[in-house]
Structure 1
Amino acid sequence: MKDKVIGFLNSAKGAGGVLLAAMMMAFVWVNSPFAASYELIHHAQVSVSIGDYELGKPMISWINEGLMVIFFFLVGLEIKREILTGQLSSLSQIALPAFGAFGGMLVPALVYLYFNQEDQEAMRGWAIPVATDIVLVLALLAVLENRIPLSLKIFLTALAVFDDLGTLIVIAGFYSHGLSALSLVLAGGGLGVLAVLNRFGIFRVRLHLAIGLFIWLAILESGVHATIAGVLIAFLIPISAGDKPILERIEQALAPWVAILVVPIFAFFNSGISISNLTTEKILSPVSVGVIIGLFVGKQVGVMLGVLIAVRLGLSKLPAGCDWYQMYGAAVLTGVGFTMGLFVVGLAFSQAGLILSINLSVIIGSCLSAAMGLAILSARSIALDKADQGNSEKS
């Protein structure tokens, strides 16, 4: 029984289930008579002292700037592995997901800006609908089990890697503020030490943890969003040390914890939406509409355009065993943008009421994309099964 539970939690279905459970728990709690206790935990001040240095932040900041570093560290490991040895290691493999990801980021951003072009402050949220939540997408695909080609799952994973990389560049370039030259120099020094260790294939857990913590603190004080530290550190983890595959081992050990602990905790602290404060006016505001339409319409249109261009130019082909109907269903699923979307909301805006309404719009857009994407892929699977049965009967 224990092995079955552990196996389920380590699966795509399990990770998605834990994530959805965390979201539902937060939603129910915030809309119950005990809502004040959620807010108390959410904003509780937590301080850490190291000698004379003291760092104090509310709990939500520790989650979004501290705990999520682990998530972005894992993202960085996945990106490095895919580029060096995985699905992104050759031009023919890169073209299709790269074009799809570029279109899937550009079109949603343009859709959002179209609805908010007259509001300078609202335009800060243009990056909210651009990223795909691969954890939830793979959990949704797991529901279909073997009824879709494995190549389609690989394509979506590769596309999400480009999505994440693009979003990280956006976070670093557009959501950083008040840069501190000294802190950036200190962070650069720490990264330089890791680069030397990486060059000689040296990896020591305690040493790398200490240097990583130093880099995180330096970037935290630099004005660049602290989660970028996770990705930079990951890029400087050696592939192997001697005959030991270091990067892959870390990734395999970390992935389950990120899926069933880190991301659900983030979801719990960022999806507590009180419906008592929501109005039709807020839900139909240009910002909310821009996010919903950007995710539900912009993502699928952008991904399909990108894929179509890559195929028409002869740079790539559709994934093996996949047709255009299935590709369209996958494109619709890329509109599931929960984790990164909520993360960018917190970077773009500071008003609590506005953040809650936009968070709801991220959830609405993601749910619409999930429902339509699954319906398309399920219908196509049924149609192909019937066609196969007909051909078998004829023969």
Structure 2
Amino acid sequence: MKLTQTFTDFFHSEKAGGILLLFVTIISLLLANSQIQTEYIAFWETEIGHHSITHWINDGLMTIFFLLIGLELEREIYHGELSNIKNAALPIFGALGGMIVPAGIFLALNYGTHTQNGAGIPMATDIAFAIGVLSLLGNRIPASLKIFLTALAVIDDLGAILVIALFYTQTIAFSNLLIAFAIMGFLFILNRRKVHHLAPYLIGGIAMWYFMLNSGVHATITGVLLAFVIPFGDGGKKTSSHRLQHFLHKPVAFIILPLFAIANTCIAINDNWHEGLSHENSTGIILGLTVGKPLGIYLFSFLAVSTGICRLPKDLKWKNILGAGMLGGIGFTMSIFITLLAFKNDGEEVITYSKIAILIASFLSGIFGFICLKLSFKEPKND
């Protein structure tokens, strides 16, 4: 199976981005627990325009990340792995299992408690980290597994976006929401009128973001909605969608996601940090990501192939799908993002313990996935 140039560019930008994410996360944790702990943590809480720096990153810059995810998803639907239902079915079913089973494990431990809102936390997969770990295995990994994991992670992120929109919206200001959708409708008309210049779409996107921010629905949803009104055309290099997607790859991988990681992992770890791991919330996150993710991805993929809905690529075995499922347990960025929404009214302690659980689970998932795939691909293979 051959990789398209667009997919190759995306894969390599995410690969390098994943390595950078690991580096900045370690640096941030070290600074947050050093002699400059107070000053370092206070910096990220500095207010600019009535919002902290962290808030601007989470609600502002992350919208651009979701815009890129939307553009990637659109391309996959029109020209990529998701354009053929037989090919798309395997990562779609895998992603469904990778969301339902971890959420089920979490709810089994937390239902009826004040932390049950965290069910969305173990549902997510961090594309950059997962691809970063996969890339460490070099050419022994066939293209079909790279495509499976990437498509699965993109669908996972779409699922996380829907979870954010449906379950983490408390109050809605319908007037602002209607204005946001009216702007989207106007941009859609421009699309149908074959207006290909990016400026009106980007200006309209900023206006959409403002009204979405003040509607009660999380503003980052704007990024995905905007992606689907930007002209796709034939998907060629000169189209608006391709140009914007190509432009955003590096800023997202090397600026936005690292900033998010730095701002949200400045965690002051006290001497009793391990006590929080015994809480049902932390246990649910760790088991959901390390056990629920690979189990759900494997079982739902196996079910889809067994019933004839799709087929397993000829160069893959079921142990390869299990290894990819383990890498799917690297929640990191998206899991932390959902944590901030799920527990924003529950105090900093719950958020901190959740972040620690996510870091531990993501680290274990990365190690287990790497070992499993390394053992299952003993002889190097060329793409």
1:198 maps to amino acid: N
Q: Partner residue of 2:324?
A: 330
Q: Partner residue of 2:125?
A: 132
On the 8 A contact 2:97/2:299 being kept in 1, the answer is yes
Please show how residues 63-82 of structure 1 align to structure 2 within 5 Å: 63-82=57-76
SS in 1 for 2:51: strand
Q: Partner residue of 2:285?
A: 291
Distance, in Å, in 2 between the alignment partners of 1:10 and 1:96 is 23
Q: Partner residue of 1:52?
A: none
2:65 maps to amino acid: F
1:155 maps to amino acid: F
If you compute each CA radius of gyration, which structure gives the higher value, 1 or 2? 1
Rate the CA distance shift 1:92–1:178 in 2: closer, same or farther, 3 A.
Answer: same
Q: Partner residue of 1:372?
A: 368
On the 8 A contact 1:198/1:238 being kept in 2, the answer is yes
Q: Give the drift of 1:181.
A: 1.3
CA RMSD of aligned residues (A): 1.8
Q: Give the drift of 1:11.
A: 4.1
| Structure 1, unaligned runs of 5 or more | 1-6, 48-55, 389-395
The structure 2 residue matched to 1:310, chosen from 304, 309, 317, is 304
Q: Give the drift of 1:134.
A: 1.2
Q: Give the drift of 1:267.
A: 0.4
SS in 2 for 1:250: helix
On the 8 A contact 2:103/2:119 being kept in 1, the answer is yes
Please show how residues 128-277 of structure 1 align to structure 2 within 5 Å: 128-240=121-233, 244-276=238-270
Residue 359 of structure 2 corresponds to residue 359 of structure 1: no
On the 8 A contact 1:12/1:142 being kept in 2, the answer is no
The structure 2 residue matched to 1:90, chosen from 84, 87, 91, is 84
On the 8 A contact 1:187/1:219 being kept in 2, the answer is yes
Distance, in Å, in 2 between the alignment partners of 1:333 and 1:14 is 16
Residue 303 of structure 2 corresponds to residue 301 of structure 1: no
1:222 maps to amino acid: S
Q: Give the drift of 1:133.
A: 0.8
Rate the CA distance shift 1:242–1:169 in 2: closer, same or farther, 3 A.
Answer: closer
Distance, in Å, in 2 between the alignment partners of 1:163 and 1:39 is 31
On the 8 A contact 2:235/2:242 being kept in 1, the answer is no
On the 8 A contact 2:126/2:334 being kept in 1, the answer is yes
Number of residue pairs the alignment of both structures matches: 369
Deviations, residues 303-331 of structure 1 (Å, cap 9, x unaligned): 00110011001111112311112111111
Q: Partner residue of 2:25?
A: 23
Distance, in Å, in 2 between the alignment partners of 1:349 and 1:300 is 26
Distance, in Å, in 2 between the alignment partners of 1:321 and 1:165 is 27
Q: Give the TM-score normalised by the residue count of structure 1.
A: 0.90
Q: Partner residue of 1:36?
A: 38
On the 8 A contact 1:203/1:241 being kept in 2, the answer is no
SS in 2 for 1:26: helix
Q: Give the drift of 1:23.
A: 0.5
Q: Partner residue of 1:381?
A: 377
Rate the CA distance shift 1:68–1:278 in 2: closer, same or farther, 3 A.
Answer: farther
Q: Give the drift of 1:213.
A: 0.8
Distance, in Å, in 2 between the alignment partners of 1:245 and 1:206 is 14
Distance, in Å, in 2 between the alignment partners of 1:212 and 1:297 is 39
On the 8 A contact 1:71/1:258 being kept in 2, the answer is yes
Q: Give the drift of 1:12.
A: 4.1
Q: Partner residue of 1:392?
A: none
Rate the CA distance shift 1:290–1:103 in 2: closer, same or farther, 3 A.
Answer: same
| Structure 2, unaligned runs of 5 or more | 1-8
On the 8 A contact 1:201/1:241 being kept in 2, the answer is no
Distance, in Å, in 2 between the alignment partners of 1:264 and 1:273 is 15
Distance, in Å, in 2 between the alignment partners of 1:239 and 1:199 is 11
Q: Give the drift of 1:62.
A: 0.5
On the 8 A contact 1:112/1:290 being kept in 2, the answer is yes
Q: Give the drift of 1:277.
A: 5.8
SS in 1 for 2:137: helix
Q: Give the drift of 1:149.
A: 1.1
Deviations, residues 149-174 of structure 1 (Å, cap 9, x unaligned): 11001011111121111111110000
On the 8 A contact 1:155/1:319 being kept in 2, the answer is no
1:103 maps to amino acid: G
Q: Partner residue of 1:14?
A: 16
Deviations, residues 340-385 of structure 1 (Å, cap 9, x unaligned): 0000000001211211110010111111111011101111222x56
On the 8 A contact 1:202/1:241 being kept in 2, the answer is no
Q: Give the drift of 1:272.
A: 1.4
Distance, in Å, in 2 between the alignment partners of 1:164 and 1:215 is 21
Indicate the larger mover: 250-259 or 99-108: 250-259
Distance, in Å, in 1 between the alignment partners of 2:313 and 2:246 is 26
Distance, in Å, in 1 between the alignment partners of 2:158 and 2:234 is 26
Distance, in Å, in 2 between the alignment partners of 1:148 and 1:241 is 30
SS in 2 for 1:222: coil
Q: Give the drift of 1:10.
A: 5.8
Distance, in Å, in 1 between the alignment partners of 2:368 and 2:215 is 42
2:214 maps to amino acid: E
Residue 93 of structure 2 corresponds to residue 99 of structure 1: yes
Distance, in Å, in 2 between the alignment partners of 1:241 and 1:374 is 37
Rate the CA distance shift 1:242–1:144 in 2: closer, same or farther, 3 A.
Answer: closer
